[in-house]
Structure 1
Amino acid sequence: THKSVLLRRIISDCKAPALKPTKDNLILQAKELEKLYHHEIRQRKTIEETLVRQAQELEATKIQCDTIYDQLHDAEEQKAVLEQRMTEMESALRDGEEKLATSKCLLEALQADKEKLQQERDAAATAAAELRQKSEQRISMATEALNTEFSAVELEQATRSFDEVLKIGEGGFGCVYKGSLRSTTVAIKLLHPKSLQGQSEFNQEVAVLGRVRHPNLVALIGSCREAFGLVYEYLPNGSLEDRLACANDTPPLTWQVRTRIIYEMCSALTFLHSNKPHPVVHGDLKPANILLDANLVSKLGDFGICRLLTQSGTSTAATTLYRTTTPRGTFAYMDPEFLSSGELTPRSDVYSLGIIILQLLTGRRPQKIAEVVEDAVEKGELHTVLDPSAGAWPFVQANQLAHLGLRCAEMSRRRRPDLAREVWTVVEPLMKAASLTARRPTFAASSALPDEASTPSYFVCPIFQEMMNDPHIAADGFTYEAEAIRGWLDSGHDTSPMTNLKLAHRELTPNRGLRSVILEWQQQHRQYHEDWR
């Protein structure tokens, strides 16, 4: 470098023979030395700056190395985690493969079971079809056995050549005889064979009663096409019409029996109207066609003008109906809309049932009976039109039946209640209450016992009309037999049986004071009878 050259020059000058220093030489050497000094300072500063820069670069490199080291450490940790996850995934994959193999085996087993079950199902279906066919054959045989075909000679022998003494009914359709067929007492109806109406009624009765069975429908035992004869079970207590008129001095029916008859007719009509595939409308429901057996169980008969309904294609509501231009039936019981339009529907029977309910309540003839009862109800004088021969009608039952009968006998078909949903919900609880109060299930008692006559009125339940054993006070303030008022509430009522006003609540409070008085009175009465005996 320049510095080294200068030093070498100075050294060589010193080794040279001594020259006489001159002022110029000294000045020149001083300048050279000063120049050399300044150069050294600049060189030193440059080196120091270089060292500082290198130190900074070294520090930056160190920081970068530390960062790279940390990243490398994190990468190694991530690598370890990934390796662990890969190990776990490989283990899960092996498990999945094992489960897949197991599932495949299970699927094969299930497929085998499915094929086996399908075979069993096919076998069961075949067996069921065979059983169904056998069952239908048995039903057909049973129907044929129930609806026996009799000969004209058998009918003649059963009625002793149609003896007038055995005649129990007669009308435009023909005659009804009491007879004995194959050791069974029967009723034999002979229709006019030359009459188209008689032939139609014969076919209709066989078609309907030959395939339906209900406890409250007259049972058809058999028929005789040769003589246009129909053989029914014999019902010894005659028609409801005769019983209401007390024909042949028969005792009147009690209100309990009348309530039961309403219940039974409601049951029979509901059954007919829900018949499949075609509902049946009786079309001539009246007391003369309701017959009573030995236990006064009512049975609906005379299906000569009944109709199997078909679905209406023109009605928007798709109601079932039958159309005719010549309505047939008994005028006083016939649906007014059937008379005017010729359309027969299940609610035509509901109208007839309403008239019969009002007749059972009042014992009156059917003409304008709805007007009479409605007027009495509006004036609060229902008791004045009730049939006294039925016994003491409980006001609650009588009032409910009167309102029900009037609703059923509405002139407009749309305003009449539905038999299954509305009429039944009223009639069923009344039937249960009447059954509980019936002391004698046949006719009205001719006289009351002394102890019954002297029973204080406030001992008697307003619903059951019997002396209370467990009196309870309801929200209306009246006292009832616990079973009676609970039955009233459980049947969906939220009003008072006495006032028809809405009850504030359904809670009942035992009337212990009245119960004590009743028990004391009963004890004294028993003692009185023992002393009297």
Structure 2
Amino acid sequence: MATAGSPSPYPGDSPEPSFSGEKVYVAVGEESSRGTLLWALHKFPQGTAFVLLHVYSPPNFLPILGAKIPAGQLREQELIAHKKMNLQRISDNLDQYQLICAQQKVQAEKLVVESDDVAYGLVDVISEHNVSMLVMGAADDKHYTKKAAPFGHDVMQDCRQSATSAQCSVERSSSLSEIWCVSNTWLHKLNLEPHIETTSSDRYSDKEKEDTKERGESDNELQHIPMQLERVRQEAYEEKCRREKAEQELFEALQKVQVSENLYFGELKQKNEIEVKLATTMEEVDRLARTADELAAKFQEQCEKILVLEKRSAHSDRIIKDLMLQRDKAVREAEAIRVKNGESTAIADRTIPITELSISEIKEATSNFDHSSKVGESVYGSVYKGLLRQTNVAVKKLNPESTESLSQFSHEVEILSRVRHPNLVTLIGACKDARALVYEYMPNGSLDDRLACKDNSKPLSWQLRTRIASNICSALIFLHSNKPHSIVHSDLKASNILLDGNNVAKLSGFGVCRMLTDEFKATTTLYRHTHPKGTFVYIDPEYAISGDLTPLSDVYSFGIILLRLLTGRSGFGLLKDVQRAVAKGCLQAILDSSAGDWPLMHAEQLSRVGLRCCEIRRKNRPDLQTEVWTVLEPMLRSASSMLCSLSFKSVSEDFGNVPSYFICPIQQDVMRDPLIAADGFTYEAEAIREWFDSGHYTSPMTNLDLPHRDLLPNHALRSAIQEWLQSNAD
């Protein structure tokens, strides 16, 4: 029951309530609830039990990085963390309110409930805990009364149902406070008992009348509550619509902001990555530039060393050639003595001395077979470039794991010790312990490498290719006509054709060659080899099928070589391509354009000769000496004259405009002892003598037979060369 009391220190307060031991619930918010609590502490007598009530409503938008993000877009972990932080803050506020109560020596409990709607949360607390005393601050609104309004629990239920039927979600707390909350006052005991007010004297009768009047006005106001509720509901609905629209617009704006931020951060990340890559690239460029400078300096140093070594090598080569000439001269003199004494001079019984080398010399020459010195490799072994007795040599080390390596070693030594020809590679020495053969070094490598322009080498001109074909043909004729036993190379291919410094071709690879025991006959099978050896592209089809080896097997391989020289292509499928081109009259379309402009007549003749050499049946293949050489010889004369003019021009440029007639056509070097041969050309003495000693009876320039091999000193040219050398030295 409410009782009158002394005037309250708070203006407009209602009279003090009666207290019968019930708990007083004080609704407090996160802010501006201190005054409400103090009011309750002042109004209720000391000893009253208080419950500090807070209804927590999870927010729909959460502040993140200065923007409000809808809660539905956040992860569950983020929502839990945000809720935990809010509850902690609420607990801290309630602790402060408890401290105020403790200072007033009042017992207070904390109660925090969670509800999506504050009004529903308050109603649920009132219903669940049978709350009869509830104090909370009221909103500043003209519709709210400043007097206490007594209601029972049934009225509360009616209000709750009315609020539910109106479906007011956001403004329900305001609507509820309209009914049973007053501004800065407490809520009366929630029952329907009539107010009994006691007075102490008649002087309070006027006050009673005034209170009665005010209660009447309050009753009138209560009658207008449904209308006010409806109006507030409409306003709340409109406000809700406006808020939802604003929320939608805010959500769309946030999405655009998020997209913009993603684009910005993506571009920023890409920019950073590009900057890092650019910095790394610049560092790499600087490092490569420094490395290039270092390599250039080393290269220059090596070039200078190579130049010195080449000069020494050239000098050593001249010495070796002089020694070989002296050796050959001694052999000829010894043979002449034997002829004079009636001894046999059969080539089969004569062998050319081969220098026996120790394994230590071979290892020293090749730096113990260093991999960097390797210039070639095959199934039979490896070839190394070496320096033996101040001379560049090629060392072929046969594979020690091969069961046939020893027999090949002996066989090649036996063959090359019996024959000597300018177009056969010269065997200088051998080492049986290391199974190594030492040959003259061929600086321009193999024909296979030159056709492929390996190491960016210059393409071979058609003139050089014509001369190479003639060189190989001459070497094969020499081998096949060897007396008393013909020699079949049996492994003729582009990789076994080597080129010296002047691109003169020399035949190598005699490891599987055969010396036929019967007299050479072109139409007769002379030797049967049960296991054909060689490269598939170049191998004679009849030899591959039957194992019968004859000189005509080399003719087939020579035909493939001719077709490769014409086209520059590999051997696979080449025969059919040339046959088709010749049949259709479009040979020029498959010629190797890097060789220059082939004379069409020469190209057609070479193609026909090559196709005849590659006939499947041996009996249809041409004879090298009587048929092939008659075609190649006039081509060689034409090509040689052009090569001489080109060589003189090239050497003239290399030697600082040296007169071309100072240059030896064979050595391509300035002559020291010029001699005139029967063809009218002047040669270096040691070069022309070596030419004759190697069995040549033709001119090195025209390839025509010489009437004699007498040589005359060219004193006038020798004086002119010495005078020119002296003037250039000054």
Counterpart in 1 of 2:59? Answer: none
Specify the alignment match of 2:489 in structure 1: 282
Alignment of 1:22-61 (within 5 A): none
Query: Paired residue for 1:263?
Result: 470
Task: State the partner residue of 1:247.
Answer: 454
Larger RCO (alpha carbons 8 Å, 6+ apart): 1
Q: CA 1:442/1:238 → structure 2, altered by over 3 Å: closer, same or farther?
A: farther
Instruction: Compute the TM-score of the two structures, normalised by the length of structure 1.
Output: 0.56
Of 636, 641, 646, the residue aligned with 1:440 is 646
Pair 1:335-2:576 in alignment: no
Question: How far apart, in 1, do the equivalents of 2:592 and 2:568 lie?
Answer: 5
Greater Cα shift, 394-403 or 321-330: 321-330
Partner-residue secondary structure (3-state), 2:537: helix
Contact 1:257 1:442 in 2 (8 A): no
Cα gap change, 1:163 to 1:443, in 2 (>3 Å): farther
Q: Which amino acid aligns with 1:414?
A: K
The amino acid of 1:216's aligned partner reads N
1:169 equivalenced with 2:376 (yes/no): yes
Which residue of structure 2 lines up, in the alignment, with residue 179 of structure 1?
Answer: 386
SS of aligned partner of 1:248: helix
| 1:196-235 superposed matches below 5 A | 196-235=403-442
Q: Distance in 2 between matches of 1:386 and 1:171?
A: 29
Which residue identity is paired with 1:311?
A: D
Conserved in 1, the CA contact under 8 Å of 2:450 and 2:457? Answer: yes
The answer on whether the counterparts of 1:312 and 1:318 sit within 8 Å (CA) in structure 2 is no
TM alignment of 1:513-524, pairs within 5 A: none
8 Å Cα contact 2:365/2:388 also seen in 1: yes
Question: Which of 569, 573, 579 is residue 374 of structure 1 equivalent to?
Answer: 579
Q: Give the superposition deviation at 1:441.
A: 4.9
Cα deviations by residue, 1:109-165 (Å, 9 ceiling, x for unpaired): xxxxxxxxxxxxxxxxxx86664559899x96x822xx1000101101111111111
- Match for residue 302 of structure 1? 509
- Which residue number corresponds to residue 596 of structure 2? 391
Offset of residue 349 of structure 1: 0.4
State the match for 1:411 in structure 2: 616
* Cα distance change of structure 1 residues 413 and 318 upon mapping to structure 2, 3 Å threshold: closer
The alpha-carbon deviation at position 394 of structure 1 amounts to 0.5
Letter in 1 for 2:601: V
Question: How far has the Cα of 1:326 moved from its partner?
Answer: 1.2
Give the distance between the partners of 1:298 and 1:363, measured in 2 at CA: 17
Cα distance change on mapping 1:286 and 1:136 into 2, 3 Å = closer
> Which of 352, 364, 368 is 1:143 aligned to?
352
Instruction: State how far apart, in whole Å, the 1-side matches of 2:551 and 2:588 are.
Output: 31
Return the letter of the residue paired with 1:285.
Answer: L
The letter of the residue matching 1:158 is A
| Paired position in structure 2 for 1:474 | none
The amino acid that maps onto 1:187 is A
Supply the distance in 1 between the matched residues of 2:649 and 2:599 (Cα, whole angstroms): 17
Amino acid at match of 2:637: K
1:252–1:443 contact (8 Å) kept in structure 2: no
- Secondary structure of 1:327's partner? coil
8 Å contact kept, 2:480–2:486: yes
- In the alignment, the residues of structure 1 paired with residue 425 and residue 529 of structure 2 have an alpha-carbon distance, to the nearest angstrom, of 26
Q: 2:657 maps to what in 1?
A: none
Q: Counterpart in 1 of 2:443?
A: 236
Partner of residue 192, structure 1: 399
Q: How far apart, in 1, do the equivalents of 2:556 and 2:648 lie?
A: 27
Shift of 1:321: 2.2
In the TM superposition, 1:123-138 aligns within 5 A as 131=341, 133=343
Normalising to structure 2: TM-score of the pair?
0.41
CA distance in 2: counterparts of 1:339 and 1:244, whole angstroms: 27
Work out the CA distance in 1 between the residues paired with 2:339 and 2:581: 61
Bigger radius of gyration, 1 or 2?
A: 2
Corresponding residue number in structure 2 for 1:273: 480
What CA deviation, in whole Å up to 9, does each residue of 1:342-377 have, x standing for no partner?
001001000000001000000111112111111111
Over 3 Å counting, the alpha-carbon distance change for 1:206 and 1:423 in structure 2 is same
Name 2:237's counterpart in structure 1.
Answer: none
Asked if the contact 1:310/1:320 (under 8 Å) is kept, the reply is no
Deviation at 1:201, TM superposition (A): 1.4
Question: CA offset at residue 197 of structure 1?
Answer: 1.8
| Separation in 2, partners of 1:198, 1:217 | 21
Q: Are 1:292 and 2:499 counterparts?
A: yes
Structure 1 portions without partners, runs of 5+: 1-126, 445-486, 491-533
CA gap 1:204/1:442 in 2 versus in 1, 3 angstroms:
farther
For structure 2, the 5+ residue unaligned runs are 1-336, 651-701, 705-730
Specify the alignment match of 1:353 in structure 2.
558
Task: Indicate how the Cα distance of structure 1 residues 210 and 166 shifts in structure 2: closer, same or farther if over 3 A, else same.
Answer: same
Relative to structure 1, the CA distance from residue 307 to residue 393 in structure 2 (aligned partners, 3 Å threshold; closer, same or farther) is: same
Report the residue type matching 1:406 in the other structure: L
Q: Residue 33 of structure 1 aligns with which residue? A: none
Provide closer, same or farther for how the CA distance between residues 134 and 396 of structure 1 changes in structure 2, counting only shifts above 3 A: closer
Aligned equivalents of 1:167, 1:151: Cα separation in 2: 20
For 2:519 and 2:344, locate their aligned partners in 1 and report how far apart those are by CA, in whole Å.
35
Q: Is the 8 A contact 2:612 2:621 kept in 1?
A: yes
The CA distance in 1 between the partners of 2:488 and 2:556, in whole Å, is 12
Q: Within 2, Cα distance between the matches of 1:135 and 1:407?
A: 38
Structure 1 residue 322, shift from structure 2 partner: 1.9
Q: 1:187 to 1:128 in 2, by over 3 A?
A: closer
Compared CA separation, residues 278 and 136, structure 1 to 2 (3 A): closer
Asked if 2 retains the 8 angstrom alpha-carbon contact of 1:254 and 1:442, the reply is no
Looking at structure 2, the residues matched to 327 and 179 of structure 1 have their Cα atoms a distance apart, in angstroms, of 32
Q: Relative to structure 1, is the Cα distance of residues 442 and 222 closer, same or farther in structure 2, using a 3 angstrom cutoff?
A: farther
Give the 3 Å change call, closer, same or farther, for CA 168–404 of structure 1 in structure 2. same
Answer whether contact 2:489 2:513 (CA < 8 A) is retained.
Answer: yes
Tell me, yes or no, if the aligned pair for 2:428 and 2:440 is still in contact at 8 Å: yes
- Compared with structure 1, are the counterparts of its residues 134 and 417 closer, same or farther at alpha carbon in structure 2 (3 Å cutoff)? closer
**Count of residues paired in the alignment:** 315
> Could you list the per-position Cα deviations for residues 241-299 of structure 1 after superposition, in whole angstroms to 9, with x for gaps in the alignment?
00000000001000000000000000000000001111000001000000000000000
Distance in 1, Cα, partners of 2:648 & 2:558: 22
Q: CA RMSD in A?
A: 2.8
Deviations 1:79-127 (A, max 9, x none): xxxxxxxxxxxxxxxxxxxxxxxxxxxxxxxxxxxxxxxxxxxxxxxx8
CA contact (8 A) 2:381 2:399 kept: yes
Question: Does the C-alpha gap of structure 1 residues 128 and 149 become closer, same or farther in structure 2, counting only changes over 3 Å?
Answer: closer
Aligned residue in 1 for 2:625: 420
How high is the sequence identity, in percent, across the aligned residues?
53
